[in-house]
Structures are given as C-alpha cells and as structure tokens.
C-alpha cells in the first residue's frame, strides 16, 4: 500500500511555507509532507529513525536533492542534528507521529496482527529491545503496567496474566490469541489492538522521545516559526496539548501563590485553540487518518 500523508494541506498551510525557508520534518517517513514543502520552494531537513523510510524518502525527494537533507536518526537528537546540518534557526518544525502504511503492512516488522510475523515492533532495527523481549521476559506486574499505561487498557492485569501463562509467544498471531482469550470483546475493534499499541510505544520509547524533542523543536524555531504536531492517540495528543498550554503561559505558579516566583515567560502562541481533524472526505479516502489530531503553535519572543 502507498503511504498517504495525513492532513497534508492543513499541515502545509499551518507551516506557512516560504521559498528558501528552512523546515524540519522530524518524521519524514516516505516523504509526503516533505515533498509538499519542497514543491513550494522550501528547504527540508528530513529525519527518521527507520532506515527504510529514509531510503523511500530519498527516492521520492530526489528531484529536490539540492534542497533536501535526510538523516537517519531519532528526533530525540533534534538539536544536535540541526546544529550539525546547519539547519538552525528554522521557520517550521513538523512531527507526524503516525505509523506509515509501509511499516504496518511489512510482515517482518510485527506491528500488526493481521499477518503472522515475529514480535519485533522496532522502528530502529539496530536497537536491542523488541516486543518479544517484553512479552516473554518482563514480570507480570511490569507487563500489566505497560499495557495499562501505554494502551489505556483497563484489563491490563488479565491480559498480562494470560500472556505469562502462554509463554513463550513468538509471533503476532500467538500474542493476539493470548490477549483475545483473556478479554473477549464483541465489536469491530480487535481486543488485542490496545495491547499492540502499548508494546509498540514501550519498545520505541515514543512518549519519552517526543517529550524530549518538543523542547528542542521550540529552541530551534525562529520567532514567528511554527511548530506543527500530528498525533494519533490520546497519550501523544495529551502530551502535546499540555506542552503547548504550558509554554503559552507567562506564569506557572500555583493559583494560591500571591506573587510569581517561577520566572516563566510564554514562548509559544497557540494557533489552533482546538485540534484540527481530517475532513470526512479524507477519512473516506484514507481510513487510517480517522484518529489524527493536529495542533499548531507559533514561537514568540
């Protein structure tokens, strides 16, 4: 399946792309958003932790290679990457936190239980931790905590108990069956969906890396530059929402504090007071876009 960039027009409009302006795509993927920036005359620094994504982006962006730099690295190293690449300050920074269709459909990656696949779930194939390690070696209590926290699955205890009882689990279908046997739920959503999400987030430390990258993104933006984040589940969106809200306030002291003692000054202005979501037409054309939420903020003095 060809990967279709989500909220493409909305994201490009939010970035306010200018000719010769520098823009950082922290999750370049197959290069859909990056190509749109380049088509409007911008320069792109594309980052992705997945080496396969970088190769796909390099092929797609080859007509613009003089204005595109592609780096295979994690966006948690954003400041260092921008400094080394001479891409500082930037007019815009984009995070599209969704998984690409190419990753989901690759049977070797183990992100989906639609196919028999090894329990991998790594964005970076060189890292040691895999979903198999967590599933087969973590204590039941720790496993339950991961499923509850990252999957927002209230039945995490039952699921962890079933996983431990069925060890070793070596494939996606074996894991999905172990989860389904613990929490049978009728409906269109498979009972293992939240558990797979939780394991993927834990394997790739997604929330921790995003938290580290947001502050770095703010620091590399020039005044008037835009920070655009597209997220796909509530934990990501909540993290972004809280960060934007905090950085758009002048004082973070508790309400009962008579005089400000925190010394905090607003560094962002909220551009989107409410999340931007895909249109009905986009969801019909690309069902995987249905959970996308976009937030936009602007760097101020």
CATH of the domain at 247: 3.40.50.150
Domain assignment present for residue 94? The answer is yes
pLDDT score recorded for residue 186: 67
Q: Which residues of the chain have pLDDT under 50?
A: 1
Report the pLDDT value the prediction gives residue 43, as an integer from 0 to 100.
98
Q: Are residues 200 and 216 in the same domain?
A: no
The pLDDT assigned to 180 comes to 93
- CB neighbourhood size of 265 (10 A): 11
At 252 the pLDDT is: 85
CA 282 to chain centre: 20
| CA separation, residue 145 to residues 131, 153, 210, 235, 274 (Å) | 15, 10, 20, 15, 31
Detail the DSSP E strand segments found in 7-124. 22-25, 43-48, 68-72, 90-96
The Cα–Cα gap between 141 and 221 comes to 42
> Is the Cβ–Cβ distance between 277 and 227 less than 8 Å?
no
User: Which of 187, 204, 221 is the last residue before a domain boundary?
Assistant: 204
Helix axes 51-60 and 32-39, enclosed angle (nearest 10): 30
> Which token pair is 70?
């592609």
Q: Tally the domains of the chain.
A: 2
Range of the domain at 191: 110-204
Q: Are both 168 and 98 inside the same structural domain?
A: no
- Read off the tokens for 90: 């930037």
User: Could you tell me if residue 1 is inside a domain?
Assistant: no
DSSP 62: G
> Cα(299)–Cα(226) distance, rounded to whole angstroms?
6
Residue-level pLDDT at 2: 59
Q: What is the pLDDT of residue 35?
A: 98
């Amino acid at each position: 399946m060809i990967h279709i960039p989500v909220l493409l027009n909305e994201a490009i409009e939010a970035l306010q792309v200018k000719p010769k302006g520098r823009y950082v795509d922290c999750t370049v993927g197959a290069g859909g958003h990056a190509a749109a920036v380049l088509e409007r005359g911008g320069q792109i620094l594309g980052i992705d932790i997945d080496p396969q994504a970088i190769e796909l982006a390099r092929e797609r962006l080859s007509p613009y290679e003089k204005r595109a730099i592609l780096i295979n690295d994690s966006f948690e190293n954003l400041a260092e990457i921008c400094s080394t690449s001479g891409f500082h300050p930037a007019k815009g920074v984009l995070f599209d936190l969704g998984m690409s269709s190419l990753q989901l459909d690759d049977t070797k990656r183990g992100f989906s239980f639609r196919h028999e696949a090894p329990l991998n779930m790594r964005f970076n194939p060189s890292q040691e931790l895999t979903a198999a390690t967590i599933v087969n070696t973590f204590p039941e209590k720790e496993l339950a905590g991961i499923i509850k926290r990252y999957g927002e699955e209230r039945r995490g205890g039952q699921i962890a108990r079933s996983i431990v009882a069925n060890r070793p689990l070596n494939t996606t279908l074996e894991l999905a069956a172990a989860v389904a046997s613990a929490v049978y739920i009728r409906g269109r959503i498979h009972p293992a969906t939240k558990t797979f999400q939780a394991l993927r987030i834990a394997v790739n430390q997604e929330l921790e890396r995003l938290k580290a990258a947001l502050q770095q993104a703010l620091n590399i933006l020039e005044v008037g530059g835009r920070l655009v984040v597209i997220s796909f589940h509530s934990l990501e969106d909540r993290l972004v929402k809280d960060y934007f809200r905090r950085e758009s306030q002048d004082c973070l002291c508790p309400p009962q504090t008579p005089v400000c003692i925190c010394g905090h000054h607003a560094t962002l202005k909220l551009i989107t007071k409410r999340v931007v979501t895909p249109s009905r037409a986009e969801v019909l054309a690309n069902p995987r876009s249905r959970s996308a939420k976009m937030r936009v903020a602007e760097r101020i003095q």
